[in-house]
Amino acid sequence: MGALATLLARAKTPDIKAGFLDSCYGDLDRGAGQTFTTWTGLPGIFYPGIKMAAQRLFSFDISQSSPEKVFAQLGNLKVFLIHG
């Protein structure tokens, strides 16, 4: 989540000139959906409802937690991405 926080901060302020991102996921919603059953033991059919509940209860829109989408807003920011 730190890598995403760095990307989101950079998208809002030009003061950050470069980023070093470690183990950044591509899209939290897609990743959580793919591993939901493994993490929770619940059938995948419950994922959309839990996602909606989190959005309503915590004002957290998981679809906004996507580094893939934020990269488009970064302009010419230099990024060093490590994954694996």
pLDDT tens digits, one per residue of 27-73 = 888 888 889 999 999 999 999 999 999 999 999 888 877 777 777 77
Do 14 and 73 contact (CB within 8 A), yes or no? no
Of 27 and 83, the structure prediction assigns the larger pLDDT to 27
Q: Which pTM does this prediction carry?
A: 0.61
Grouping H, G, I as helix, E, B as strand and the rest as coil, residue 13 is coil
Q: Express the helix, strand and coil content of the chain in percent, nearest 5 each.
A: 55, 10, 30
